[in-house]
Structures are given as structure tokens and as C-alpha cells.
Amino acid sequence: MPSFVSNLESAIDGTVLSADKIQTLHKDRPLWVRYDLDKIKRSLQIDNLKNRPHNIWRYKELLPLSPEDSVISLGEVVTPIISCEKLGKKYGLDKLYIKDESSLPTGSFKSRGLVMAVNMAKKFGVKTVAIPTAGNAGGAMAAYAARAGMDAYVFMPEDTPLINKFECKVFGAKAFLINGLIGDCGKIVRDGKDNIGWFDMSTLKEPYRIEGKKTMGLELAEQFNWRSPDVILYPTGGGTGLIGMWKAFNELDQLGWLKDGKRPRMVAVQSDGCCPIVRAFDAGERFAEPVENPYTIASGIRVPSAIGDFMILDAVRESGGKAIAVPEEKIIDYMELTAKTEGISICPETAACVVALEMLSNEGWLQADEEIVIFNTAAAQKYPDITEIKFTMIDIGSPIDWDIIRR
């Protein structure tokens, strides 16, 4: 299938760049992928989607690649939207949903972006890829690089969750721990470009990860029957997901597919231990100052400085949304609360969104009858190291004390 991509475009100054060769940044800032939307409008109707498989490739006209390009894939399924009536009731909200991304390859939504980035790199002849990571991106890249037969290098802070270290290893990546922050990992990847000759897969330093994350918005719109929900709460680190979803809603609107042209209010959620985007939002700035000594157990949003800061802030503001910081110490409790109330395996990043939900409902920013979607960006099972798990041992050599079990 011919691609409908027309060109790349600098997000900072609109400079048009060719999509026919590998591109990275322009003036140290990210690029947009632009499509010939008029041409897509002529060749694709909503009805055409009906008989397509339930995976991200069903939106191939709006992606830089299609399955006909013999893409490498691990089964990037359409993820479920789960109604959360019990949790909603706690906060006086009638229509609360979680879009549960934990069933994607490697157990997090990072696979949406990395399947696209790795495929495009492969298409352009890249043989070696490298990434700095807070955890899940490294695991996802390692998996797709293995599948694509590429060499993968992963650099992560030493306190990255155990499972992320483990998955890099099983997928055969050359993985390294750094006694520093993700920015220090990023510097090694940058410097290694000349030294070792790998391609830099850092967040937003190549244009295609956004296109993969964009499928979250496309799916959501389709699942809501081409209407958009009122509010989306999204745990924001580097921001690819929020930026990608907003791009999806804009493109769908231009195709005329969104009923009433309505788009959601986007809420960027961060921990108060690391909230550069919230600070910039509150100060009315377009760019965010890096945070010193960032801390949060929600490792996916421990991003003290985001290269796409202005793209996140533009999207949040255009949407009429907001950026909100939640108390770090509430995250684990809300993770357990949500999991045991709804049976959904939520990650600590998403738990921050549940804290935000409570705060925004209390302030009256959310209305009882609004449709609200929280993104569960990864499976809880990826984070066994954030809380101490205590069990009572039962000795099968002695009579069982039922009182202990009853308690």
C-alpha cells in the first residue's frame, strides 16, 4: 500500500522536511509526521474498517507503514475499555472508564510507539538501535529489536524496576545501569552516535513513536463510536502518548470523523516529586524548566526534562485541559485501591491519575455525567519491587491454626 505520509514538519518552526530519509530533530526539537488527509478522505470510509483485524494496523492509512510492508509485529491488539462503576461512584462520577493497555506486548503501552519506531528504522536500513529509558521503553525496544534482528543497547538508571532490567536481558539487549538519571542515560546515547554508530531511539528524537502512540486516540474514538469522551487523564512523562492522542483527534476531526467535532479535555498527570510540565502549565510557560532531584516510584513519569514539553503544553491548553501534580505518597495506596475495587492490574503511573481524579472531582472540575477515561499504561505485575509484600507462612508439618487464616 502506498503511504499517505506527505512530509515531516518541525514542531518548533514548521520547516518542511522529507519523509523519504531517516530524520531526527530539527533545531534540537521534535518533528511531526504529516499526511495527505484529503487523499485519505477520498480512499477511506469508516465502513472500510469493519472487516479489518482488531489491532493497531487497522488504521494503516493514518500510519507511516501498513501490514503490506511486511512489518514486524508482536500482536499490537486493540485494548479494552473497561467501565469502572464502583471506582467512579467513590468520586461521584457516573461514567468512568479505564483503557487498559496492560495486554499489549511487553505489558505496557510503550509497544505502540516502539513497534512503529523500530519498523521505520529497519525500513531505513538501521542495524543498531540505542535508548535511554525509565524502564518500559527499554523493554519494548529490546523485544522489537530482537524480532527485527537488530542490535539493541539500553541504558537505564540503576534503580529502574527489576522487571524492566530482566526483560532487556531476556530479549538479548546489551543493557547497562547508570548511577544517574534518565538524562545521563540520554547523554550516553547521544555521545555513542558518533562513537559506536547506533541510531538514537530516545523519546521524540525520531518522529514515528508519536504515530504509534497516536493509535490510542484512534482506538478510543472508534470504541466511543466516533465521538470523543469528555476528559482523558494521562500519566505524563516524555509526553508521547498525550501528544500522539491529541494529534489523532485533530486528524480525525480533519477527516470529519468526529461527531460534532468535539475533542476531549486532556489532563497531564504527574507526581509532585517530578512535575516539570505542571509547573510550566501553572506559570503560563510554553517550555518547562528541568526538575532537580526528581523522585517518584512511578518510574514511567520520572522524567525531569521533556524535549517535547511545548507539544504537551500546547495540546493540554488547546484542549481546555490542565496539568496536575498529585502527592507522591498516595500513589501506592491508590494503586491497591483501584486494583482491589475493579480487578484491573494498574501501574503506579495510572494510580497517580486516580489520585488526580479524586482531586479534580473534589474541585468540581469534573462533572458527574461526564465521560472520563483513564489510561492504564502498564500492568501492575511489572512493579513487584515498589512495595514490600508480606505473607504469613503456613507450616504444613504442624496442625493448621485456622484462627490465623480467619484473621
Ligand X SMILES: *Cc1c(COP(=O)(O)O)cnc(C)c1O
Residues near ligand X (CB under 6 A): 108, 110, 136-137, 203, 235-241, 300-301, 347, 349, 377-378
**Least distance to ligand X from the beta carbon of 386, Å?**
12
The grid coordinates listed for 146 are 530482537
**Least distance to ligand X from the beta carbon of 36, Å?**
27
Instruction: Find the residue with minimal CB distance to ligand X.
Output: 300
CA–CA separation, 378 and 104 (whole Å): 8
Nearer to ligand X, 132 or 235 (CB): 235
**Least distance to ligand X from the beta carbon of 383, Å?**
9
Nearer to ligand X, 167 or 349 (CB): 349
Half-sphere CA count of 25, side-chain side, radius 13 A: 15
Nearer to ligand X, 88 or 241 (CB): 241
280: left (phi over 0), alpha (psi -120 to 50) or beta: alpha
Query: In 158-279, where do the E strands start and end?
Result: 174-178, 199-200, 231-235, 265-271
CA–CA separation, 150 and 132 (whole Å): 17
Single-letter amino acid code for the residue at 346: I
Nearer to ligand X, 119 or 377 (CB): 377
User: Per-residue DSSP letters for 311-372?
Assistant: HHHHHHHHTT-EEEEE-GGGHHHHHHHHHHHH---B-HHHHHHHHHHHHHHHTT-S-TTSEE
Nearer to ligand X, 236 or 361 (CB): 236
Nearer to ligand X, 134 or 255 (CB): 134
**Least distance to ligand X from the beta carbon of 303, Å?**
7
**Least distance to ligand X from the beta carbon of 111, Å?**
10
The grid coordinates listed for 275 are 512535575
**Least distance to ligand X from the beta carbon of 88, Å?**
21
User: Other CB atoms closer than 10 Å to residue 340's CB: what's the count?
Assistant: 9
